[in-house]
Amino acid sequence: MTMPDGNGLDLVEEIHDGDPGPRIPTPVLTASLDTSVAGRAIEAGAMGALSKLASMPETVDAIRRLTDAGRSEV
């Protein structure tokens, strides 16, 4: 998960590191087909990971589930 200024996994860790408040529903969108990338993102604090190759209905469904999960944790 390469970004112009760093690494997406590092960003997810930074968002969730030491945050005592409600969990921020953080999705990860990845071009990698390697499932270990999704696993590492979830370990870092992401609430879900989705391939950039996912269809529009799959993407919309994943975002809905993520926002529903975020609402239930607040």
Question: Which one, of 29, 31, 49, 30, lies nearest residue 39 by Cα?
Answer: 49
Determine the pLDDT at residue 37.
Answer: 82
What is the Cα 14 distance to its own chain's centre?
13
Question: What is the reported pLDDT for 40?
Answer: 86
Q: What is the number of other CB atoms lying within 10 angstroms of the CB of residue 70?
A: 16
pLDDT for position 12: 84
How far is 54 from 74, CA to CA, in rounded Å?
28
Domains of the chain by start residue, with CATH = 2-73 (3.40.50.2300)
Length of the chain: 74
Q: Alpha helix locations (H) across 1-74?
A: 8-16, 35-44, 56-73
**Tens digits of residue pLDDT in 15-71:** 888 666 666 777 888 887 778 888 888 888 888 888 888 899 998 998 888 777 665
